[in-house]
Structure 1
Amino acid sequence: MTTSTRAIDDRDLDGVLVLNNGAVPSVNELTRDQLAELVAGAAVALVAVDGDEVAGFVLALSPGLPYESQNYRWFSGRYQDFLYVDRVVVAESRRGAGVGGVLYDAVTERARALGAGRVTCEVNVRPPNPGSMCFHERRGFRSVGEQHTENDTKRVALLALPL
């Protein structure tokens, strides 16, 4: 099947929530209301679909939002022209099938359309997420910093892809 993307809508929220919360600790857990709020404020809120199957999703945010994420605030304090990938999750059954690449291609296209100078994100270093780190490095992301989060229970690499 061919993977395509479309905007997240209400019919997707329950499935996206299951994907998101199944990916903890790579992303933080959300309630349905928190997810709906994130989707509403996102510059990019897409699902990747194969037929009727939701294969993954991405949420990316523009600067200037009152978003409390420590990592988003880190980028906001250093850059004015970025698109921040808050979370991207691919269904376990679809990992390695190019779904993440399709989602990131859409994010990069939108970032360019918005005039952003870079796409930013973080990847866990502790607990480690080597698959995500390799994926981002292959796509050209480079480390621009590191920080401890969640009461020092996590350490993240802060990454940027110049456009």
Structure 2
Amino acid sequence: MKSSPSRDAASRKHHADAIDAFEAATRMLVGLATRSLAGETVTLPQFRLLAALADRGPLPSSRAAAALGLNASSVTRLGDRLELVGLLSRTREPYNRSVVTLALTTAGDELVHRVLASRRETLSRLLGKLDPREVDGAVKALWRLTKLAAADEALGDLVPYPHG
């Protein structure tokens, strides 16, 4: 059975409305991520590197670059600044001096935890204003969307995406 033109138009509008809502939510979440760094000494790209190290522990710079979808020279520049302000340490591996391992310092670990706690507090406050059924529906939809992205050949490298 063929659908009617009005049903097709309504379906396209519903789909467009959904995309608009997800784009607006994405902008809000990126803004929240950026705002959570207010008063901190790092940029969002620098924070992503720190968060990747907090998630995964010390990493060779090449593996950190791969985890963030960056090239090695970008991670080197991020590491230079973070080491300078005492948030990251770099060591050369004794068995292979070309391998540089990145690790959080205590100050870097504290910064990551402080920023993530701030984000979680803001999200908790916002979610607390929703009906529990709305929260349940959003949770299911977002986890499903995350799984779909992970399974998508072109997007799978984004999941799990380091905090950003």
Name the larger-Rg structure.
Answer: 2
Compare the two structures and name the one with the higher helix fraction. 2
Alignment TM-score, normalising by the size of structure 1: 0.27
Alignment TM-score, normalising by the size of structure 2: 0.26
Higher relative contact order (CA 8 A, sep 6+): 2
